Structure 1
Amino acid sequence: MSLPDVVLDYEVLADDIAAKVKLDGEHLVLLAESFSGPLAVLLATRLDVQALVLVARIKPPLLLIQFLLTGGDRR
C-alpha cells in the first residue's frame, strides 16, 4: 500500500489507510515502531484488529539494566 505524497496529520492518514485495508475475514495484527505508534493506535480504533504491538527502540543505560537485573546488589 502506498502512502500519500503529501504531509497529513495522524487522523487524516489513519482514515486514508483504514479505507484502503480489506480484511476479508482475516485477522489483522498491527506492529508499530517508534513514531508510527500513534498512527497504529488510531488505526486500531478504526479496524477490527486482533492485536496491537508497540515497539520502542530505546537503549537504556547499562547501569540501569544492571540495577534492574540485580536489584542493586553488585555482588
Structure 2
Amino acid sequence: MKHSKESFTKVKSYRPFHSAFDPCPPIGKRYYRTPPNLYLGFQPRGLPQFSPMEALQKGTLWPVFYDHYENPYEDGR
C-alpha cells in the first residue's frame, strides 16, 4: 500500500462544504492533527530516547512519539 508524503504529515486541513444556498458565510480552512503512533505500527527496537528529565517534561520516553501542539489559527495560516 503506497502513501503519499502528504498522508504522513501530523497537521492536516480540509475545507468544509459550503452550498451556494447556505445563508451563512463559509467557515474556511479547518485543521486537525493525527497522532504520531498512527504511522509507526509496531515499536521497533533501539529507538532513540529522551533523558529521564526531558521524558518527564515531554510526557514520553521516545522522541518519535512526542507531538508538540502548535495552534495553526494563531499564525494566521
Relative to the length of structure 2, the TM-score reads: 0.23
Relative to the length of structure 1, the TM-score reads: 0.23
- Structure with higher RCO (Cα < 8 A, 6+ apart): 1
